[in-house]
Structure 1
Amino acid sequence: MSDAQTDTSKSTIGQGSKLLVDVGPAAIFMITYNVAKRLVEDQAIYWATGIFMLATAAAVVYAIVTQKRFPPMLAVTFVIVTLFGGMTIYLQDPIFIFIKPTIINLIFCFAILFSFALGFNVWKRLFGSIYSMPDHAWVMLGIRWALFFAFLAVLNEVMWRHIIDANVPETARWFAGLELTEAFWVNFRFFGTFPLFFLFVLANVPMTLKYAKATEDESKGEGDTKDA
């Protein structure tokens, strides 16, 4: 096997591992909920939350073992899942797990914006090793992701506040005519959120490739000038 094939295989395995860490706990949460709903209907969200906490902890261990590091975004997710999941089970109140996505997405949003205020781009710091782009392109990409995380936070707020079968107080509702079920919210976490992420990533590919190619061409031009 050539070095190029070996590098490609390692890259594929690495991407597969990252996908498993990102998607695995959410898939387990959804599956556990839907199975538990048939067995212990009123306790399904608590069973799913407990298994979700264990799955997230397992994802952390798996990431550390396979990637030899503790990814910052996974670290934030682990802390919030443990905290809000624990309160959900201890207080027997599902609202804590309902607002968990809001908290995580707002943390990511404000982390990006706050990094700009401190004079650096956390998005470039996290993903600069993947793409080489000029600073203004990283700023644009960072702002886009901050807005996307804010959108996900607002979307989750709209959804959980209108769940009609989970003891959500009437005062929490924003729109009188909107009614959702707990099962819809749980399943949307997987079948809705991840497709939105995928579509948003695809929407940013043209800009990323445009600036990455421009940076590559500029580097080649500088190299040719030095050779001359």
Structure 2
Amino acid sequence: MEFEHAPNDPTRKELSPLLKLALELGPLGVFFLFNARGEQIAAAFPVLQQVGKPIFLATAAFMVAISISLVVSLWLTKRLPIMPLVSGAVVLVFGALTLWLHDELFIKLKPTIVNCLFGTVLLGGLLFGKALLGYVFDSAFRLTDEGWRKLTFRWGVFFFVLAAINEIVWRSFSTDFWVSFKVFGIMPITLVFTLTQLPLIQKHAIVEDGKDA
């Protein structure tokens, strides 16, 4: 399976790496800030005291921030990649349940649900001979069929590992620790895993004539 929406596709608009990172990590930063400083923020704006504990205020702010991020991404690129779209949708659904039922369990389950969903899609696709990783990540590079299969399998397993880690953390530690780990722990783990996949990507990359790998 070779994904043809390569970087030279004239219909494809790319964000700068820094802007893309800001759109992806910005909502998490807002989530952490409102959870850490929720009491001070509520004291400054008394109307927010009706929301309740900082985690509920953080959840509401997270929902607003991720909605803004998706809108900005759509406005700039005229499209929404599958992974941010699905993740954002789950945030809105589980965030709404968290606020409506006043139960922080739902927002804590969100990473587990999202990671299990992507893991199931990737590994399930392989059972039917489909390596779907390029679609999930909106990939801009091309690999051989074997490369996509191997990379899809590894990421599928990794998503389930992330789900298991989230379950262990929120069940074993405080809400504040879980929020901090979600913001500052998952990203480094994901980055390290991604870097370990570079040899596989380089080995199976399809290089166009006249271009470096």
TM-score by length of 2: 0.82
CA distance in structure 1 between the partners assigned to 2:23 and 2:138 by the alignment: 21
Q: Residue 196 of structure 2 aligns with which residue?
A: 203
Conserved 8 A contact 2:112-2:164: yes
Counterparts of 1:145 and 1:113 in 2: how far apart (Å)? 9
Structure 1 residue aligned with 2:6: none
C-alpha distance in 2 between matches for 1:187 and 1:155: 14
Please tell me the root mean square deviation across aligned C-alpha atoms, in Å.
2.1
Which range moved further: 35-44 or 129-138? 35-44
* Residue of structure 1 in register with 2:29 after alignment: 27
Q: 2:93 aligns with which of 83, 90, 97?
A: 83
- Which residue of structure 1 lines up, in the alignment, with residue 10 of structure 2? none
Hey, what's the Cα distance between the residues in 1 that align with 2:135 and 2:105?
A: 34
Deviation at 1:197, TM superposition (A): 1.1
Residue 38 (structure 1) shift:
4.9
Distance between the aligned counterparts of 1:19 and 1:156, measured in 2? 22
- Matched-pair contact (CA < 8 Å) for 1:17–1:66: no
Q: Aligned AA for 2:204?
A: Y
With 108-117 and 144-153 compared, the bigger mean Cα shift is at: 108-117
Find 2:109's aligned residue among 62, 80, 99: 99
Structure 2 counterpart of 1:149: 159
Contact 2:81–2:136 under 8 Å retained in 1: no
Q: What is the number of residues matched between the two proteins?
A: 189
> Would the aligned equivalents of 2:39 and 2:54 in 1 still touch at CA under 8 Å?
yes
Q: Which residue of structure 2 lines up, in the alignment, with residue 177 of structure 1?
A: none
1:183-202 equivalent positions in 2, closer than 5 A: 183-202=176-195
Equivalent residue letter for 1:56: I
Query: What is the aligned partner in structure 2 of residue 182 from structure 1?
Result: 175
Work out whether 1:68 is the aligned partner of 2:78: yes
Distance (Å, rounded) in 2 between the aligned partners of 1:201 and 1:140: 13
Equivalent in 127, 130, 141 of residue 120 of structure 1 = 130
Query: Would the aligned equivalents of 2:83 and 2:137 in 1 still touch at CA under 8 Å?
Result: no
Scaled by the length of structure 1, the TM-score of the pair is 0.76
Which stretches in structure 2 are left out of the alignment for 5+ residues? 1-12, 43-48
Higher relative contact order (CA 8 A, sep 6+): 2
Percent identity over the alignment? 32
Distance 1:37 1:192 in 2: 24
Q: Deviations over 1:9-45 (max 9, x none)?
A: x96x532232122111111101111011556696100
Deviation at residue 130 of structure 1 after TM alignment: 2.4
Alignment partner, residue 15 of structure 1: 17
Larger radius of gyration: 1
